[in-house]
Amino acid sequence: MCLGIPGQVVEMLDSHEHLARIDVSGVGRVINIGLLEDEDLGCGDWVLIHVGFAMSKIDEEEAALALASLKMMGGIFDEEVEALMTSQSAAEEMPDAVKAWED
């Protein structure tokens, strides 16, 4: 829960809802970036994610360090990343066309 997982902003999704698509270990997740509204966040920036929210803007160096530290933790890291990967609120939202088709 207290572990920060690093990710890289791939796409700004919805400025009203403060959502961005973020690449976490190669998987796209939808993350709330509202807490970084003062940071002028853009594509390519790295962030540290805590419980579904981007909490700090970091540089590539810190991202590499955070990831290496997490990997050393072994099972705990796997659980935290697994939790993020299965988080329903972070699931990539379906494009409207797909939603319409499913309806």
| Residues of the shown chain interacting with other proteins in the complex, contacts defined by CB under 8 A | 1-4, 32, 34-38, 48, 50-53, 55-56, 58-62, 64-66, 68-69, 72-73, 76, 79, 83-84, 86-90
Beta carbon of residue 82, minimum distance to other proteins (angstroms, whole number): 9
**Least distance (Å) from other proteins to the CB of residue 92?**
14
Strand-pairing partners, residue 31, are 20
d(C-alpha 20, C-alpha 13), whole Å: 5
Q: How far is the CB of 78 from other proteins (least distance, A)?
A: 11
Cα dist. 48→54, 63, 66, 72, 84 in Å?
Answer: 6, 8, 9, 17, 13
